[in-house]
Structure 1
Amino acid sequence: MKLSAEISDFADRLGHRFRQPGLLIEALTHASLSSPTRPDNQRLEFLGDRVLGLVMAEALLGADPRAREGRLAPRFNALVRRETCAAVARDIGLGEVLKLGRSEMMSGGRRKEALLADAMEAVIAAVYVDAGFGAARDMVLQLWGARIGSVKADARDPKTALQEWAQARGLHPPHYDMVARSGPDHAPVFTIAAYLETGESEQASASSKRHAEQAAAQALLRRMETQNG
């Protein structure tokens, strides 16, 4: 199978020459375009998630031999979560070569975080199946690059961090309300407010409720830590 010029350029950005080019095509094919003769990337995504996890666990252990599990786990989660995978996918222009059905394409699928993250994991699996763990590890370490070394020692989810801050002071967990929703169906914008029982609150907007909640929690935690030293 011969790759198109566009996908060949993408493979070059990965730094891997496929002996089985069909694996890369499969990794880039979303379920909206699958057929009995054209498999989608869901099975590869399942495998790639595990390969990525092993690469990151190995890298973190090597980078900090004295760190205990309690410090390694949040760093690991920050490196393998959907947002990070999607960010790496954007860095290498993965969305530009995704193979999507018409409806998914019309709804902005090339920019959707979930689709980008899943395809990134599928690409990792494609390299793993094509050339083994060593090749997959080399590619992941190259693509994640400085993210591995700069991941925060405390990389907790902002909502978790705010909840722990509140509980440490005898407060009830924070709660979240949706203040507004705007934009078209294919590109919505959610505005979420995070509240503490003391009355303090912060708002944030994002393309998903989850991201807006995280951003609001982060803003509120930052303000409370500043106020309370």
Structure 2
Amino acid sequence: QELGKEFEKAAPVLAGTTLVAQVSLLHSYESRWAINWQRHNQHYDPIEAIKSFYAPLKHQAGNVDIASPDTDFTHYKLVIAPALNLLTETQATRLIAYVQNGGHLVLGQRSAMKNGENGLERQPGPFHELLGGQVLQFYALADPVPVKGTWGSGESRLCAEQLKVEGSDTDVLLRYRRSNGWLDDQPAAVTRVAGKGKLHI
């Protein structure tokens, strides 16, 4: 009853207001279905991938939206696609425009791997030119692989993507350290300024 009375007092002040987040995590049912149909690593879960970003983002940014890739991204400063496996042409066009107009887009592992018809694409699909790089190979890992670079250090536990840097202005943020030989010192995360924004993978 007391809480109800407090809400009643606050209602006139809160009426018509809304929480505005500056950060968005993208969730796509089509991508979830595509990944779960062909997980590549049995321990990789697209929902867990989203959750792994949510807690630290919530701590730093306060409000975090979980949004569809069909959303209007223009008011977000940062958009993260942890597992955007399947991407339509319309969605890709919207995300590319978002970056070029000043947004920051982070693509997680297995993103832009399939087109709108569920056909395979070489990652990062329509972002290839914008990134100035591409995924040469992707692997399910049996053992963790250490990574180190300007973003700090850590390890990749489930999957690894061997990246090829093609743009002279594409920066390597992380590299795989000594592990299994075929990933040693290869780029693990890269970024590039595109228009007024940045793309990271």
> Which structure: larger Rg?
1
Using structure 2 for the length normalisation, give the TM-score: 0.28
Q: Which has the higher helix share?
A: 1
Structure that is richer in strand per residue: 2
What TM-score, normalized to structure 1? 0.26
